[in-house]
Amino acid sequence: MAQSDEFLQKVQTDVDLTQAEVGETIRPSGLTSLALDSLPKIPLNKAHTLFGMSTEILGSGGMGTIHGGTQPSLVRPVAIKRAFERGVQALVREAKVMGHLEHPNIVPVHVAARDENDVPYVVMKRIAGTTLLDHLSSMTQVVSMDQHLNILIDIANAVDFAHSKGIVHLDLKPANVMIGEFGEVYVLDWGTACAFRDDAPAEIARVPDPPKLSGTPRYVAPEMFSQEHPIGPATDVYLLGGLLYAIMCGDGPNTGGTTTEALRSAYYPKKRHYPAGYPPELVAIAERALQRNPADRYQTAREFRLAIEDFRRFRGARELVALGHRRLSFAREQLQEDADADVGRELESAREAFEDALGIHIDLRSARDGLQEALIELIEFELRVGHADYAMKLTEHLPTPVPELKQRCFQAVEQAQEKVESLKSDLERLQREVDPRVAGRAKAMMWMAIGLTIAIPQLAPAAFGHRPSVEEVLASHSGFAVILVLIVMRFRQKLASTLTNRVLVGTILAMVAFSLVPRIVALAGQVELGIALGIDLAMVACFTFFFIATVDRRLQACFPGYVAGAAGCFVYPDQAFWVFPTTHLVNMTILAIVYWFAAEPESQD
């Protein structure tokens, strides 16, 4: 109770709060009779003639009744508003204000006069339509948010114009907004309006000092009933924020079942709750307009209107944000199913949607927050699948840096680079293992030694007319095998340095061993010696062909020679003792030359 008494002391009013309705207008007092005297006196009978006032009542309120009429001279319908006794001052004030404000969203006034009993009446444009309150409370009329925002923009335009003339409305609420049959919007009931600048017409009442409670408790700003801040354009901005709140929530921002509770809600504001589904940017506009301190609100109705227009203009950006969140949710579902391909695609799509939204509206908070969320998910995903470099690049696009995540990416990149270096080293080692150029000169000397070792022991006796026996050929081949082993031992370090060389040397040694077979068969008398030597050369040709196809094409230099040598032995077996050593000497010399000049550069010493 003490808190309530303390609050009531702050409320500047000359009305009984217990009798005031939270949704009804509280009228200011203090309008001088001079304002009434300034109206011309036009008796009702003359008014009937001029405007054809009918008995039809278009509406009735706290100030008076509105009758329909027709102006015969211009053949146009008009509305004639007559004041009750308690509404005289308000009607005169409204007429003066509306007469001063000519604007498409303010009802034009044709005549303001008083009858023979000094009861004021106002003739104005007749409007057919419904109030914004009807729109908000109707259960059948469906009005889109865009349509409501269009209405609010027109209201803000009218209020902005009034402010440019030094006048504040002070009673903006859904019931005081009329929407015509063709969408035209009019701000009504200027009976509480006041001038806040000295350049406004003297007939228009000034903002009271100290302020006295006026307007509708459900919508009033705190400074309208307390002395903490002056009344001005920011006061109407609060009321515009109240209209936006009512569009979203169905009623004014000052909650409570009584006038006192509504005023306390305005003076001690609590966190307001908005229905789900409204964009946070629109809620932020309402919240800024409804700040308790006028300095924290939009300072003009124009600023408020521009905020609403920006919100509408950037609707496409908000739709992209919604798309981005849908993609992000789907990606998270896929993560639970380990569908990596789908996850990556959906996360990239979410990122693109948020970035496109920021391309339209760079300051869209929901887009920035969504992009931050999507990028973090995408970075985590790329780290998981091993794309550290890409994850690192993505950290540069985060709207808000995340140092620990960037450090993880940096560590992952280092580990990936170490792995690459290791793989590169393994690859280089493997490439060297199969590089036929390695130890090229050692192999050249081996080829030359093989050729000479085979040829000299057989060609020298043949030159003197000696034909070797099978036993001598077998002995010569055995001696060659021993010498070959010694040659391999001499160059073993180089010849064993790579896989290719090891295979080559191993194959040669195997071939030498297999070459004993046809000689042994000849020794047993199963074939001629010349045929046995032809078989030997044919085996060498096959070995050469295999090596050409799998290891080193340079062996093709001797392949034709070995084919020709084998053919010569088969055709002329009695000349094999010449053909066999000559074939080896010629081909080994060719190979020695080829390998010498094609050796690995670093080994050419």
Q: What is the pLDDT of residue 34?
A: 46
- CA distances, 302 to each of 155, 183, 197, 317, 459 (Å): 11, 21, 18, 23, 114
Question: 393 is written with which tokens?
Answer: 């690049």
Cα–Cα dist 179/268, whole Å: 33
- ∠458-462-468 over CA atoms, to 5°? 65
- Whether the CB-CB separation of 53 and 63 falls below 8 Å is answered with no
Edge-to-edge strands of the sheet including 185-187? 129-131, 177-180, 185-187
Count other C-beta atoms under 10 Å from residue 567's C-beta: 15
pTM (two decimals)? 0.60
**Three-state SS for 114?**
strand
pLDDT at residue 142, rounded to an integer: 54
Q: How far apart are CA 274 and CA 287, in angstroms?
A: 10
Query: What is the spatial distance between Cα 234 and Cα 240, in angstroms, rounded to a whole number?
Result: 10
Task: List, in order, residues 6 or more apart from 157 with CB less than 8 Å away.
Answer: 103, 104, 105, 301, 305
The answer to whether residues 245 and 307 touch, using CB atoms and an 8 Å cutoff, is: no
- At residue 293, the pLDDT reads 95
Condensed to tens digits (0 to 9), the pLDDT of residues 527-542 reads 888 898 899 999 999 9
* Helix (H), strand (E) at residue 174: none
Distance CA 172, CA 367 (A): 33
Q: Where are the beta strands (DSSP E) in 132-224?
A: 167-168, 177-180, 185-187, 194-195
From start to end of 134-281, where are the E strands?
167-168, 177-180, 185-187, 194-195
The answer to whether residues 207 and 230 touch, using CB atoms and an 8 Å cutoff, is yes
The low-confidence residues of the chain, meaning pLDDT below 50, are: 1-3, 31-34, 139-140, 603-605
